[in-house]
Structure 1
Amino acid sequence: MAAETPAHYHTNTPWNEPGAEPYIRVENVTKKFGDFVAVNDVSLNVYRGELFSLLGGSGCGKTTLLRMLAGFEEPTSGKIYIDGVDMAGIPPYARPTNMMFQSYALFPHMTVEANVSFGLKQDKVPSAEINNRVRQILDMVQLTQFAKRKPHQLSGGQRQRVALARALVKAPKLLLLDEPLGALDKKLREATQFEIMNIQDKLGITFMVVTHDQEEAMTLSTRIGVMNQGQIVQIGTPQEIYEYPNTKQVADFIGSVNLFEGRIVEDESDHVLIDSPEAGGRIYVDHGISSAPGAKVWAALRPEKIQLVKGDRGEPYNCIKGTVKGIAYMGNLSVYLIALDSGKEVKVTMPNQVRAAEQMIGWDDRVTLTWHANSPVILLS
């Protein structure tokens, strides 16, 4: 399979269309295990053909929510609708869903072909149709030549594709994937992300992925729901989640971010001025936020949006000074750890556009950090 994004992938945005009907509706769903609240009053709409990711750390409730969609758990309260049908009391085998587990759960004594066809045989699908559907799906995931092998004769990436083929061959309307790439190494995981995107785009099936990996969610998803302590705290496209986080928790969880605490000095329609002792200066943002003067806020600034130059420069705003205390050369970019004169440490990333770029600024160099006025995001909590 070609490891490139389809040209039309992520171009449809049904969530922005007023008349669009959600394919999955989760309405005020709560799930308790004794006194522990795993999922807390979650509401969510997912549209047909989306590749939607639930993203969060361990214990945030994302897998429990996925299992309720699959029918392996029943909500304590609230409703789940799939394609307009209330799923209350409907067992997993009667739902228009299939689930791909993190462990892949392949039958070790069966060949690839037998693993993929197992569900169809259980459903008593005619043999000719089974053979045709298995052949088509193995071709799609590029496993035709491995059809007679058993799982122990395959690589991790190949086993992952067998599990995906087995889940897809039954043509579910909704495919649920629980940490589907967690067992793969970084390079294989990156390649497989694009394979999943291509397959989902070709088949048009709605995918819902549970993952703790921010990069994976950003790569795969039409939209992301960020979960924390049983609640969805923000829903948006990867760009919206990254560029416009709505809380400190989301900003800190998605990628890397520098947070500067401060208080508002001016808040006008065209700008905000923040006094931040942590930054060691004033932060100017080119839009207003309608908050009271003196209110405590945080300016979230991504490391790649900061410019780094040697020496001390002087600007009234968005200009802070420090000393280089660490450099990590990552190949395509370098990460700089800067100890500000205020005592706070910040990260700055810079692309290595020429060879040995990491040597242009060295350890213990005095540096000035600047950024554009539209780069910070102002957070109230």
Structure 2
Amino acid sequence: MAAVEKTTKQPQNKHVSAPWNDPKAEPYIRIENVTKKFGEFVAVNNVSLNIYRGELFSLLGGSGCGKTTLLRMLAGFEVPTAGKIYIDGVDMAGIPPYDRPTNMMFQSYALFPHMTVEQNVSFGLKQDKYPDSEIKQRVAHMLEMVQLMPFAKRKPHQLSGGQRQRVALARSLVKQPKLLLLDEPLGALDKKLREATQFELMNIQDRLGITFIVVTHDQEEAMTLSTRIGVMNEGQIVQTGTPQEIYEYPQSKFVADFIGSVNLFEGQIIEDEQDHVLIRSDEAGGDIYIDHGISSAPGARAWVAIRPEKIRLTKQDLNEPHNCLSGVVKGIAYMGNLSIYLVQLDSGKQIKVTMPNQVRAAEFMIDWDDRVTITWHANSPVALLS
């Protein structure tokens, strides 16, 4: 399933100036045709990827897609079956983990339970025989940065989950690696703490300027943290882009369906001109008009992806020639700031519509079993070819 529209957007993160759009920019990490097999199982399948200095790059995908295996190959804990990995222009083949300019923060945090916060953070520096004065200075700087100085003498069991996460982060950063690899770093935190810690992580990365690569299965986490995201499926990277590109311009049905919530309509192209494409969809029960061409032959099979928040829901009976469907409300979920409506179209297909709760329910009400009309703007859908 290939994308039919490409675009270039600026990243949301202010501290990176989109070097991936500059053909002259040198990537800090180059992954070239890397494959990793465990027996007959192919965990990573011919992956090529460039990551630039100062990025906070996320590898996003479901369980078993190969993202952690790729991270472990960068760290040196796994050896590629084929392909090359370069960090700062140096081929990593044969270089053990302790000689790479990397550090890795594990999902479990792996803190020493018998050591204090201060001792946990200083452990790597002591192993490398740094002078005591430098160890003291670096540890104090790190604990201040992660706001743990008052807890320096506590042991891990005396800390909250968020505090333990920050200890692990400080220990990973204290040796000043050029590249920090984070495997599901926030997975053990509850939702509210995870959201707060995401911004802490971004601020620390921004201040230090270290390149971060984060492995996560959490779409919201990847969208919040990242300068760019690499979406993985079955050992391959199926799309790379900024959070805005990944969300607004998915290049495949898989990415459209995996990232966020989406409504997908199968159909057939009946018109394809430079300024529009018209797709007839039995699933939608009408024609879908998109305000750009896709350079495909009439009659070709296509999918239309449209996000729930881009759909307008009304009880008015509108009579538009395109992008106007009718149905019945079969479910409502009130989420406080927004409501999610499950609408069964006259075609029989069920779709989701989200609407912000900008007025009180008493003033504006769409209820169960109400007959409704749904519409959307012609630039809201994305067409995907089979």
Give the TM-score band, short-chain normalised. over 0.9
Supply the AA of the counterpart residue of 1:112.
V
- Partner residue, 2:268: 263
Deviations 1:72-97 (A, max 9, x none): 00000000000000000100000000
Supply the AA of the counterpart residue of 2:354.
T
Supply the AA of the counterpart residue of 2:365.
M
Return the offset for 1:355: 2.2
Contact 1:311 1:366 (C-alpha < 8 Å) held by counterparts: no
Match of 2:127 among 122, 127, 144: 122
Q: 1:186 to 1:236 in 2, by over 3 A?
A: same
Return the offset for 1:343: 0.3
* 1:111 and 2:116 correspond: yes
Match of 1:277 among 260, 279, 282: 282
Higher RCO, 1 vs 2 (CA within 8 Å, ≥6 residues apart): 2
Q: Distance in 2 between matches of 1:104 and 1:228?
A: 26
- Partner residue, 1:131: 136
Match of 1:218 among 218, 223, 232: 223
Q: Distance in 1 between matches of 2:18 and 2:146?
A: 27
- Partner residue, 2:376: 371
Return the offset for 1:46: 0.2
- Partner residue, 2:7: none
Match of 1:94 among 81, 84, 99: 99
CA RMSD in angstroms comes to: 1.1
Q: Distance in 2 between matches of 1:376 and 1:292?
A: 19
Normalized against structure 1, the TM-score is what? Answer: 0.97
Q: Distance in 1 between matches of 2:223 and 2:73?
A: 24
Return the offset for 1:311: 4.0
- Partner residue, 1:242: 247
Match of 1:29 among 27, 34, 53: 34
Contact 2:56 2:226 (C-alpha < 8 Å) held by counterparts: yes
Contact 2:268 2:301 (C-alpha < 8 Å) held by counterparts: yes
Match of 2:351 among 339, 346, 351: 346
Number of residue-to-residue matches in the alignment: 375
Any gaps of 5 or more consecutive residues in structure 2?
1-11
Q: Distance in 2 between matches of 1:354 and 1:343?
A: 30
Q: Distance in 2 between matches of 1:355 and 1:111?
A: 51
Percent pairwise identity: 82
* 1:306 and 2:311 correspond: yes
- Partner residue, 1:57: 62
Supply the AA of the counterpart residue of 1:309.
T
Partner SS state of residue 193, structure 1: helix
Supply the AA of the counterpart residue of 1:98.
N
Normalized against structure 2, the TM-score is what? Answer: 0.96
Q: Distance in 2 between matches of 1:332 and 1:91?
A: 50
* 1:200 and 2:200 correspond: no
- Partner residue, 1:144: 149
* 1:325 and 2:323 correspond: no
Structure 1 segments (4+ residues) deviating >3 Å: none
Q: Distance in 2 between matches of 1:104 and 1:316?
A: 57
Contact 1:308 1:369 (C-alpha < 8 Å) held by counterparts: yes
* 1:292 and 2:297 correspond: yes
Q: What does residue range 66-105 of structure 1 map to in structure 2 within 5 Å? A: 66-105=71-110
